[in-house]
Amino acid sequence: MHLSFGDASGREYVIQLTADLAIHAWDLARATGQDDTLDRDVVTLLLPWAQANAGLLTASGMFGSRIEVGPDAPDDVRLLGLLGRRA
């Protein structure tokens, strides 16, 4: 895929889109008092990607600065922290 910042694999692009949709859905659910539970399969897909790209994601301005969570935090909390969200 040719993206605005360069070329990426189709898999990478799908992960980016999934992250954008999942985290913004979480934002909206949280802001409106809805169920903000992230799908476990989505968290399983996104957590390793977010861990590998945390610096780039913060630098992009698309996500907030990393929020440190405890090492025993659940995976969804760790993902949200990597993307600048407090669970």
At 82, the pLDDT band (50, 70, 90 cuts) reads very high
At 10, the pLDDT band (50, 70, 90 cuts) reads confident
Written as six digits, the tokens of 58 are 């913060």
Q: What is the pLDDT of residue 75?
A: 96
77, pLDDT greater than 80: yes
Q: Which of these, 80, 13, 12, 11, lies nearest to 51 by C-alpha position? A: 80
Average pLDDT over every residue of 22-42: 96
Q: Which of these, 82, 5, 3, 20, lies nearest to 48 by C-alpha position? A: 82
70, pLDDT greater than 80: yes
